[in-house]
Amino acid sequence: MNLHTAKGTLTETRETLPLDSLAEVDTVALDDQSDTLAIIDQTKLPATLEVEYLSSRDEAYRAIKRLEVRGAPAIGVAAAIALYLDVHSYWEHLSSTDSAPVTDAEGWERLSARLTETATYLDSSRPTAVNLSWALHRMGARAAASRHAGDTPAAAVQALHDEAVAIRNEDVRVCRAIGEHGLSLLHDGDGILTHCNAGRLATVRYGTATAPIYLGAERGMTFHVWCDETRPLLQGARLTAFELMASGIDTCLECDNMSASLMSTDRIQAVFVGCDRVAANGDAANKIGTSLLALAAARHHVPVYVCAPTSTIDRACATGHDIRIEQRAPEEVTELWYERRMAPESVRVYNPAFDVTDADLIAGIVTEFGVARPPYTESLAAIFQRKETVERNKVHPE
């Protein structure tokens, strides 16, 4: 397939970029010229910085499932763009065939059915990060509003384009606002421990847990960041270490089981992590190992801050027990990073992708509308009230 990108014509659906150009590339983007979803393929990092251009819903589903694009906000944005592209190409194809609907009502029936089918399919790619269903639901609501307003199906396709772009743009604004609120919890020279990758590679830009670090660095502050390796998929070692170093942040890598020892040396002033779903009571699901980190932090009196856009807070989940945890393939543990399989053949493997950190181990939940403090049932409700007020007055959260 030939694609036309900002950089010219490609004969492949992949483009390799210099490793030091990370800051110039969005993790997830809609490429309007080629009608593709452009993602950084994170399975190739840190060896190669490769942008992949995806044009079908199957490609998008596979990229999310295989963690080519990953991190709660990034998969939400990717799914919204993939849904728009699918409905757009479906509508173009339908309009150009003999079976084209003759009335808008017929067109709407077919378009709505396709939208629901594709949204359900994309939503099934990963179960834990609520941003995925949040973004797809928002796209569906935009289409429904368009229908309700009496638009033609063609106008609704354009509205879906604009909604996907809005979700993407909002992600950048929201992460910056989380950065501002998170920065108010830090001091120049602090040691910060982070787990997995809640960085720019997990969002469009800035990240959530890393946003305070990037914003502080822009303002001349220095932080010493410790990255947990994050077994079994090594998001900390491969992605967080890579992106922080690319931005000139002082970074040190450690294995997951070294965190308690590190905290006992007084070199960690705060733990900053992202999350995939926060329950109404403040329990937070994040990458496996986060709860262990929080337990060690409690013992060493280090505050744990969970950075969460409001799109990651699921008020329909009463507690962490209601959060579905993704189980992944055993080979990620036994084979993936080894030249030869390192565990006995047919050994049983336990490989949950996430765990739940109890709310009482979390010092604050940093959202784009401020820092929620315990008790979270009340403080998160107040955050949503603030959000509604801001949205009613159409003021951005910064």
Separation between Cα atoms, residue 342 and residue 337, nearest integer Å: 9
The dihedral over CA atoms of 40, 45, 46, 51, expressed in degrees to the nearest 10, equals: -30
Binding mask 329-348 for ligand MRU (x = CB under 6 A): --------------------
Please identify which residue in 28, 85, 129, 215 interacts with ligand MRU, judged by CB under 6 A.
Answer: 129
Q: Using CB under 6 A, which of the segments 257-265, 273-281, 334-342, 376-384 binds ligand MRU?
A: 273-281
Identify which of 275, 233, 277 has the alpha carbon closest to the alpha carbon of residue 256: 233
Identify which of 165, 352, 195 has the alpha carbon closest to the alpha carbon of residue 258: 195
Q: Which of residues 56-95 bind ligand MRU (CB under 6 A)?
A: 67, 70-73
Distances (CA, A) of 59 to 68, 158, 195, 336: 11, 22, 28, 22
Asked if 353 interacts with ligand MRU (CB under 6 A), we say yes
Catalytic residue chosen out of the listed positions 41, 190, 276, 355:
276
Asked if 146 interacts with ligand MRU (CB under 6 A), we say no
Q: Using CB under 6 A, which of the segments 94-102, 138-146, 270-278, 367-375 binds ligand MRU?
A: 270-278
- In whole angstroms, the minimum distance from the beta carbon of 235 to ligand MRU comes to 5
Asked if 240 interacts with ligand MRU (CB under 6 A), we say no
Of 138 and 142, the one with the shorter C-beta distance to ligand MRU is 138
Please identify which residue in 287, 302, 365, 366 interacts with ligand MRU, judged by CB under 6 A.
Answer: 287
Number of helices (H) and strands (E), helices first, in the chain? 11, 17
Of 5 and 351, the one with the shorter C-beta distance to ligand MRU is 351
Count residues near ligand MRU (CB under 6 A). Answer: 19
Asked if 276 interacts with ligand MRU (CB under 6 A), we say yes
Separation between Cα atoms, residue 170 and residue 397, nearest integer Å: 10
Please identify which residue in 30, 60, 135, 275 interacts with ligand MRU, judged by CB under 6 A.
Answer: 275
- In whole angstroms, the minimum distance from the beta carbon of 67 to ligand MRU comes to 6
- In whole angstroms, the minimum distance from the beta carbon of 288 to ligand MRU comes to 8
Contact partners, residue 239, CB within 8 Å, separation at least 6: 42, 45, 46, 197, 199, 201, 202
Identify which of 109, 62, 60 has the alpha carbon closest to the alpha carbon of residue 86: 60
Asked if 125 interacts with ligand MRU (CB under 6 A), we say no
Identify which of 280, 288, 239 has the alpha carbon closest to the alpha carbon of residue 128: 288
Element (H, E) at 226: strand 224-228
DSSP string, 232-278: TTTIIIIIIHHHHHHTT-EEEEE-GGGHHHHHTTT--SEEEE--SEE
Of 36 and 208, the one with the shorter C-beta distance to ligand MRU is 208
Residue 190 is given by DSSP the state -
Per the annotation, the verdict on 276 as an active-site residue is yes
Return residues touching ligand MRU (CB under 6 A): 67, 70-73, 129, 196, 198, 202-203, 207-208, 235, 274-276, 286-287, 353
List the catalytic residues. Answer: 276
